[in-house]
Amino acid sequence: MGTTRFGEVITAMVTPFATDGSLDTKTARRLAAHLVEHGSDGIVVCGTTGESPTLSHAEKLELFESVVDEVGDRASVIAGTGTYNTAESVDLTRRASDLGVDACLVVTPYYSRPPQNGLLSHFRAVADASAVPLVLYDIPGRTGRRIERDTLVELAGHERIVAVKDAIGDAGETARVRAALDRAGRSDFEILSGDDPLLLPHLAAGAIGIVSVCSHLVGDRIKRVLGAWNAGDVEEARARYLDLLPLFAVIMGVTSSPIPVKAALGMLGIDVGDPRLPLVPATEQERSSIRTALEAAGLL
């Protein structure tokens, strides 16, 4: 894992479902082990890619426990415990902490779009209740609310708020956030890229790793991008990144995530089932684009 808290390549794991739509923890265990054996230093369970809004509390806790039991001795396990309800987020974070996760991923409250002072109070309430470190999750495209730069710097002063998953989609702003954190004496606060297509720009802007969807498919190759970058071989890192970019573009762009990566896993012989409504399986046209991208990447 190097010097990072939770690892350089952290996979935002899909949640496998059986044909009847029920949670499939046996496949979740196998998938987690597969990911750790193919480049992942850590696993996020029940994040966006894990279809967290469709999971009950009981299902989330079962997944946390199963993945910790399967790979907790080999990789960091980060539990997605954030919701748009502070009390619910506090309760789920406490329960996840008790199950032995290494950290919790807490998304900006969605739908209600709280003001910045509301975000401060929300995240501090969760951090105060948590026995493990928190990774904030800033994804305004899905939540409707950004964690503004000054808010993030202030939150970084909390002893248990240690990192952010940056999915704002603007590497220039990521660089400005990194600079503001450093000026405030928060150089140990970690930025994790939350956007596969922006991996290299985010590294240049000050990120130290990635929470990746495409690492389900090319975890070892993403790991080599980071290895080259950290070794100071910028040309090698760029070449490897550009080689992966067409695959990233399709898996992250052809339709709503995690529809494409679930389809891609099935094509590679790892059956994780269909998404739960309101998400739907990939269409035939989307599957054709995904298959072409997998073939071009040498995966099929």
Q: Is the pLDDT of residue 130 over 50?
A: yes
> Is residue 165 among the annotated active site residues?
yes
Q: Is the pLDDT of residue 104 over 80?
A: yes
Q: Is the pLDDT of residue 247 over 60?
A: yes
User: What is the spatial distance between Cα 116 and Cα 126, in angstroms, rounded to a whole number?
Assistant: 16
> Is residue 111 among the annotated active site residues?
no
Q: Is the pLDDT of residue 2 over 60?
A: no
User: What is the spatial distance between Cα 155 and Cα 75, in angstroms, rounded to a whole number?
Assistant: 26
Mean pLDDT of 163-179: 98
pLDDT one-digit tens code per residue, 117-127: 999 999 999 99
User: What is the spatial distance between Cα 155 and Cα 267, in angstroms, rounded to a whole number?
Assistant: 42
The rounded percent of the chain whose pLDDT value lies above 70 is: 99
Predicted confidence band at 1 (pLDDT cuts at 50, 70, 90)? very low
Q: Supply the pLDDT for residue 255.
A: 98
Q: Which residues pair with 212 in a beta bridge?
A: 11
Residues 218, 11 contacting (CB under 8 angstroms): no
User: What is the spatial distance between Cα 117 and Cα 155, in angstroms, rounded to a whole number?
Assistant: 11
Q: Class for domain 9-241, per CATH?
A: alpha beta
DSSP state of 79: E
Beta-strand ranges (E) seen in the chain are 9-12, 42-45, 76-80, 103-107, 134-138, 161-166, 190-193, 209-212
Mean pLDDT of 72-92: 98
Q: DSSP readout, 248-282?
A: HHHHHHSSSTTHHHHHHHHHTT----PPPTTS-PP
Q: Supply the pLDDT for residue 10.
A: 98
User: What is the spatial distance between Cα 296 and Cα 298, in angstroms, rounded to a whole number?
Assistant: 5
Predicted confidence band at 272 (pLDDT cuts at 50, 70, 90)? very high
The catalytically annotated residue of 26, 60, 111, 137 is: 137
The catalytically annotated residue of 60, 110, 165, 223 is: 165
Write down the mean pLDDT value for the chain.
97
User: What is the spatial distance between Cα 220 and Cα 214, in angstroms, rounded to a whole number?
Assistant: 11
Q: Is the pLDDT of residue 198 over 90?
A: yes
pTM greater than the 0.85 cutoff: yes
